[in-house]
Amino acid sequence: MYNTRYHLADLSNYSFLVTGGAGFIGSNLVEYLLKYGARKVRVLDNLSTGHRRNLEPFMSHPAFEFIEGDIRSLQTCEQAMQGIDLVSHQAALGSVPRSIQDPITSNDVNVSGFLNILVAARNSEVKRVVYAASSSTYGDSTELPKVEDRIGKPLSPYAITKYVNELYADVFSRIYGLELIGLRYFNVFGQRQDPNGAYAAVIPKFVNQLIRHESPVINGDGNYSRDFTYIENVVQMNLKAMFTEDSRAVNQVYNVAFGENTSLNELVQYLKEYLAEHDPAIAGVDVIHGPNRVGDIPHSLADITRARTLLGYEPLFSIRDGLKETLKWYTQESATVSV
């Protein structure tokens, strides 16, 4: 993994804090940063939805440090930022249904925790914070493709929290002169994404079910579509955002996607086709269609012009390429551990 180098800087000159580094996206960033020689990579994570096993490959690396702690504590955030140059803020409670079930905790972590990160960054020597925003900020806007400056009304508590992050970032950059860049991720998938639990994302959940010959349940008729984005594209974008020296590119939000949409029906077809190469019986597993889910929008597709123009982002992995890489990982995992 990560054979393409996306940064121009010498990482041995930089210390990084990755919040949420025990999670899916964070642990992939950690892997990249350590592989390319970062001076220090510190993770702050409370292991609420992330896993220690995601960090195990890095634990003995001399440049790696782990703080088990909560971003809801300002003191913890301040301690974690000591001696850090660049912050990659990934920690949050993801999932629209989780936020509908428990809006208070999602707000505490995603809004109050985010504010702690900004205040701690302001009180430290940190040069820049690149943070995880979300495509959910487009809310009820039906316009396609989604362009950063045109958003609708949020459709869930989660979407509100992610939009509030952008509002706080904008204000902090103006008032305190902080360098902040928000990345609106569109349905990211790849290695180490958790397939388990009530709030699992659709790709790992379906992969897990198909491997067990269980029928995946598609909410609705399967014609809803998403701009599924492979993790390697997301890592590239994070690196570009952390190291851009173009002042126009800073204090912006960006769509992070491949720029193509795939329906749920097509997705299941690809998964069955690729997984059947390992286990032919998977080709015969049926799909079940359930009701549409509250808060879901029919289609999502990103315009990635801003990221291309200002950051030189060039996604290298289409959904099909990304799925092939991802399935290698899940099929190896399922052979060794219970996924």
Please identify which residue in 11, 18, 30, 49 interacts with ligand NAD, judged by CB under 6 A: 49
Strand segments, DSSP code E, in 24-82 are 40-45, 64-68
Which of the stretches 18-26, 145-153, 246-254, 295-303 binds ligand NAD when contact is defined by CB under 6 A?
A: 18-26
Tokens of 37: 């020689």
In the complex, least distance from residue 49 CB atom to ligand NAD, rounded to whole angstroms: 4
CB 182 within 8 A of CB 311: no
Q: Quick check: 132 binds ligand NAD (CB under 6 A)?
A: yes
Q: Quick check: 20 binds ligand NAD (CB under 6 A)?
A: yes
CB 43 within 8 A of CB 29: no
In the complex, least distance from residue 158 CB atom to ligand NAD, rounded to whole angstroms: 8
> Which residue lies nearer to ligand NAD by CB, 163 or 185?
185
In the complex, least distance from residue 122 CB atom to ligand NAD, rounded to whole angstroms: 19
CB-based contacts of 252, cutoff 8 Å, min separation 6: 148, 181, 182, 306, 310
> Which residue lies nearer to ligand NAD by CB, 93 or 235?
93
> Which residue lies nearer to ligand NAD by CB, 37 or 197?
197
Phi-psi region of 222 (alpha: psi -120 to 50; beta: other; left: phi over 0): left
> Which residue lies nearer to ligand NAD by CB, 73 or 269?
73
Per-residue binder mask for ligand NAD (CB under 6 A), 80-99, x = binder: ----------xxxxx-----
Please identify which residue in 6, 11, 38, 113 interacts with ligand NAD, judged by CB under 6 A: 113
User: Is 158 marked active-site?
Assistant: yes
End-to-end CA distance of the chain: 20
Catalytic residue among 6, 158, 163, 274: 158
**Identity at 253, one-letter amino acid code:** V
Q: Quick check: 48 binds ligand NAD (CB under 6 A)?
A: yes
CB-neighbour burial class of residue 84 (10 A; exposed 0-12, middle 13-18, buried 19+): buried
In three-state secondary structure terms, 172 is: helix
Count of residues interacting with ligand NAD (CB under 6 A) = 30
CA distance 80 to 218: 41
In three-state secondary structure terms, 59 is: coil
In the complex, least distance from residue 12 CB atom to ligand NAD, rounded to whole angstroms: 26
In three-state secondary structure terms, 133 is: strand
Q: Quick check: 319 binds ligand NAD (CB under 6 A)?
A: no
Q: Quick check: 32 binds ligand NAD (CB under 6 A)?
A: no
Among candidate residues 300, 317, 318, the one with its CA nearest the CA of residue 140: 300
Q: Quick check: 47 binds ligand NAD (CB under 6 A)?
A: yes
Q: Quick check: 46 binds ligand NAD (CB under 6 A)?
A: yes
Restricting to residues 155-214, name those near ligand NAD by CB under 6 A: 185, 187-188, 194, 201
Q: Quick check: 137 binds ligand NAD (CB under 6 A)?
A: no
CA distances from 42 to 30, 81, 320 (A): 9, 9, 33
Among candidate residues 190, 192, 137, the one with its CA nearest the CA of residue 159: 137
**Identity at 190, one-letter amino acid code:** G
CA distance 214 to 285: 7
Q: Quick check: 72 binds ligand NAD (CB under 6 A)?
A: yes
Which of the stretches 19-27, 33-41, 171-179, 267-275 binds ligand NAD when contact is defined by CB under 6 A?
A: 19-27
Q: Which residues in this chain contact ligand NAD in the complex, by CB under 6 A? A: 20, 22-26, 44-50, 70-72, 90-94, 109, 113, 132, 134, 185, 187-188, 194, 201
Enzyme catalytic residues: 158
